[in-house]
Amino acid sequence: MVGNPRAQTWAVCSRPPMSTASATDLARLDRLPRWPWSNALLGSLGGSFFFAFFDIVVIGAALPSIIADFDVSASSAAWAVTASLLGLVVGEFLGATLATRKGRVFTLRTALWVFSAGMILSAFAPGLGWLIFARFIAGIGTGADIAVAVTYISEICPARMRGKITGFTTVCGFAGMAFVPFIAAILLPQFSWAWRVLFAIGALGAVVLVLTRRHMPPSPRSLADQGKEQELSALVDQAETRVRAKVGELPPIAESLPVDRPDSASMDKRRWSLLALLAIAWIFYYFGSYGWLVAAPTILTENGFELSSSLVFIAVANLGLVVGAVAAFAISDRFERKRILLLALLVWALALSAIGIIGTQVAIAILGFVAAFTHGLVIPTFYTYTAENFSNRMRPTSMAFTDGIGHLGGAAAPLILIGMTLQNAFLAMAASGLVTAALLLRSRNTKGRTLEELA
């Protein structure tokens, strides 16, 4: 085959023509004023984020104990963190491929089984090599779950609720993150093997959660792309019936968008530029994010702080994650998401810089709370912002590419930051936030626009 390979790639991924009936059905869904699905589905998606985020930070909390238990160096043990994040990158791409071919719901179920297997292997690891492999497997499950869950949420939500629902699920995720240092502070100082219990908790929770996913509705946007008009119409009928029972009369349906919007050279160029811009922004943000969430306990102990006290102060600071995610739930659909991101990134950089310069446990607790607050605000807002910038067909792959490539920054963080002085490590994290903000200055506004319009 001859021709421009880049154009051929977009020919596969770009949005196909949509029928007027499908466009109308999606407009019916977008105008709904309330969550149109069951509370059990919302709880299941929240649980997905809880255990995905739990997995991201549990290795960081356990790492000092693993170093002592396996009698290995900090630099060698850091590969367990990096393997997890590399697995997450692989999982995002595998999840996107599976979601496109087999469906979002099938992929969300499969991802949890893979995650649970990796956590069980981690809990029974006899040595560092086994643990590194197990963390890679768990990372694959986490990556697939996060990428597809964000895509799925953006596609089943009415337009005015995308930020709010992503905010809610991320509140659950950050509750999982905040839970880890508290339970670690209780268990790890008492028993040399207690780090294994942390992994077993994640495995058990994932098994319970996957049993709740037997009746998840398919993605309406995916049905539209597949031309399944009758299934789409019936699904939206159910959503309308559920919301009408709560609010009475429904708002009028907005005028449908044009169903034929052929690609152009300028649109093709914009897509590639946007994809690259967001991927690079995620790389820099995740570098600082995983520096704080995963590498910080080891950075602190390597710089003279006690493990137990470090975990307690980080646990207190990380309560800000939950508060920030609650703030995202409240404001993400009320203000332009790009502006929220820019302001939060600036505060994040200032707080981390101050921790590095002051360098006391009180500063870690207070300024760490501020930094964690901004992180809790940025993650759901950035997830929503990234997902809504791409078409239905491209959304899983684009989320996998931007978030997956972005996690390479997270994978590099422990290798680069562990071993630095406290001040240099935190200043490096802060600088990555400023670079992220500078990159997003060139991005576009999305508030109040439908996914079809943004595509």
The confidence score (pLDDT) of residue 227 equals 84
pLDDT in tens, 225-243: 888 889 999 999 999 999 9
DSSP 112-176: HHHHHHHHHHHHT--SHHHHHHHHHHHHHHHHHHHHHHHHHHHHHS-GGGHHHHHHHHHHHHHHH
Query: What pLDDT, on the 0 to 100 scale, is given for residue 8?
Result: 38
For domain 38-234+266-454, give the CATH number: 1.20.1250.20
Judge whether residue 1 has pLDDT over 50. no
Q: What is the pLDDT of residues 332-364, one digit of tens each?
A: 778 888 899 999 999 999 999 999 999 888 888
Residues 6+ away with beta carbon under 8 Å from 343: none
pLDDT at 452: 59
- The alpha helices in 318-421, defined as continuous H runs, are 319-331, 337-358, 361-387, 395-417
pLDDT at residue 266, as a whole number: 55
User: 7: pLDDT confidence band, cut at 50, 70 and 90?
Assistant: very low
Using alpha carbons, select from 176, 145, 192 the residue that is nearest to residue 58: 176
Of residues 220 and 56, the one with the higher pLDDT is 220
- Mean confidence (pLDDT) of the chain: 83
Phi, psi of 226 (to 5 degrees): -85, 0
Phi-psi region of 3 (alpha: psi -120 to 50; beta: other; left: phi over 0): left
